[in-house]
Structure 1
Amino acid sequence: MVRPTLYVRDGCHLCEDASVLLDSMLGADGWDAVDIATDDDLLVRYAHRIPVLVVDGEARAELTITRPDVEDALAAR
């Protein structure tokens, strides 16, 4: 199973909401979080779109991420 990645930034309430959702659906060890502030390229790419859920290298959901978004993202791989 491919691990979903959630691109986030500190202080982002939508990122925190998405993190709680992913924890409840996949467990804390079932997905990865990457802080876009640690990489200039990620900051440019995702600055106004976070949180962004990426599966298999493709952005599958962004901004307000819901349970159906996560289910669809995982089913699409």
Structure 2
Amino acid sequence: MTARVKPFGRRTPHTVTLIGKPGCHLCDDARAVIARVCDELGVEWHEQSVLNDAELRDRYAEEIPVTLVDGRRHDYFTVDERRLRKALR
């Protein structure tokens, strides 16, 4: 599960990464928030699955979904929309 989403409109220098796995309802919820915020702010985002990467699985499997902003852990289990917006402005 690696998807790249290119938003429309202006772009910011940030990148958001969602680390999760297929069939995870929390990942589905996180994806919806990330997509909405990133699309509105013009931020590129992508997903990576812990099922496809042993390093990600070892590091994050017990915390998914994990949201990274510019490569640094921002949230896990849930995505706080207001906090994500603030980090991306």
Structure 2 residue ranges without an equivalent (≥5): 1-12
Aligned residues: 74
- Is the CA contact (8 Å cut-off) linking 1:2 and 1:56 kept in structure 2? yes
Alignment-derived partner of residue 25 in structure 1:
37
More helix by share: 1
Seen in structure 2, the aligned counterparts of structure 1 residues 72 and 61 have a Cα distance that, compared at 3 Å, is farther
- Matched residue of 2:44: which SS? coil
Residue of structure 1 in register with 2:68 after alignment: 54
* Residues 14 and 63, structure 1, Cα contact 8 Å, conserved in 2: yes
* 23, 27, 36: which one aligns with 1:15: 27
Determine helix, strand or coil for the equivalent of 1:38.
coil
Match status 1:40 vs 2:54: yes
TM-score of the superposed pair, with normalisation by structure 1: 0.83
After superposition, the C-alpha distances for 1:27-54 in whole angstroms (9 at most, x for unaligned) are 2x73111111101111011101011111
In our comparison, the structure showing a higher alpha carbon Rg is 2
% of aligned pairs identical? Answer: 32
Contact 1:4–1:31, Cα closer than 8 Å, also in 2: yes
Work out whether residues 37 and 85 of structure 2, in 8 Å CA contact, stay in contact via their aligned partners in 1.
Answer: no
